[in-house]
């Protein structure tokens, strides 16, 4: 069974992660959700725990059974790290190798054969800012794939590029990437 870490960051689009997690589970994927502290201001861990049928990591120091830290175990087992939604802050942390929460630690510790798919969601000005554009290019140069954002009415009231890509399309691309993953050893 394919193993996906669904990383959720602090965007209003975080509520869509519940539907995304549910779609992946219905398609036979084992989903483990990781919520940043900002994401937990938009959705609760319980929602993702219920749809994924797995514990949710909400803090770097959340512990499960066993001796290995949860973020290390997840990084070792994942076939795909899917961050949806991904904020400009998260993208910047990943581009600069910062690891100050469970999600960014997992990203740095991810097994080399695992893939990463990022679905950004943010204000259009933030998406177009030169720092964000450079961070996205840095991550792409490392083999990280992006899906979206799309254009439309944003939660901030502006119209433009910055909306989370459609959940069905994100799930579809994640499933395609999973077929390309070599088996875990």
Segment 4-12 shows an average pLDDT of 96
* Domain 3-180, CATH homologous superfamily name and number: Flavin prenyltransferase-like (3.40.50.1950)
Write down the pLDDT at residue 159: 80
Angle between helices 16-26 and 167-180 (to 10 degrees): 40
d(CA 129, CA 125): 6
Segment 147-174 shows an average pLDDT of 89
Residues 90, 105, 156, 181: which is the catalytic one? 156
Write down the pLDDT at residue 63: 67
d(CA 140, CA 64): 33
Helix (H) or strand (E) holding 83: strand 80-86
Segment 102-122 shows an average pLDDT of 96
d(CA 163, CA 149): 5
d(CA 3, CA 101): 21
**178 Cβ contact partners less than 8 Å away, ≥ 6 residues apart:** 2, 4, 29, 79, 80
Domain residue spans in the chain?
A: 3-180
- Which pTM does this prediction carry? 0.95
For 47-105, write each residue's pLDDT tens digit. Answer: 999 999 999 999 988 766 666 788 889 999 999 999 999 999 999 999 999 999 999 99
Segment 21-46 shows an average pLDDT of 97
Write down the pLDDT at residue 182: 72
Segment 135-154 shows an average pLDDT of 93
Is 105 known to be catalytic?
Answer: no
- pLDDT of 164 above 70: yes
- pLDDT of 23 above 90: yes
Token pair recorded at residue 184: 């875990």
Q: Are 40 and 58 in contact (CB under 8 A)?
A: yes
Q: Mean pLDDT of all residues in the chain?
A: 93
Of the pLDDT bands very low, low, confident and very high (cuts 50, 70, 90), residue 184 is: low
Write down the pLDDT at residue 71: 84
In this structure, the number of other CB atoms found within 10 A of the CB of residue 29 comes to: 22
């Amino acid at each position: 069974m394919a193993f996906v870490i669904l990383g959720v960051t602090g965007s209003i689009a975080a509520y869509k992660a519940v539907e995304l997690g549910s779609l992946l589970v219905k398609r036979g994927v084992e989903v483990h959700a990781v919520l940043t502290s900002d994401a937990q201001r938009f959705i609760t861990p319980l929602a993702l725990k219920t749809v994924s049928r797995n514990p949710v990591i909400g803090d770097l120091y959340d512990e499960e059974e066993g001796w290995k830290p949860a973020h290390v175990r997840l990084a070792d087992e994942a076939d795909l790290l899917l961050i949806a939604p991904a904020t400009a802050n998260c993208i910047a942390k990943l581009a600069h190798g910062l690891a100050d929460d469970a999600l960014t630690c997992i990203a740095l510790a991810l097994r080399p054969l695992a893939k990463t798919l990022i679905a950004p969601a943010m204000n259009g000005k933030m998406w177009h800012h030169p720092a964000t554009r450079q961070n996205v290019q840095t991550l792409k140069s490392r083999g990280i794939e992006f899906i979206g954002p799309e254009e439309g009415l944003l939660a901030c009231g502006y119209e433009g590029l910055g909306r989370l890509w459609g959940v069905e399309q994100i799930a579809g691309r994640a499933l395609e990437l999973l077929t390309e993953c070599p088996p875990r050893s």
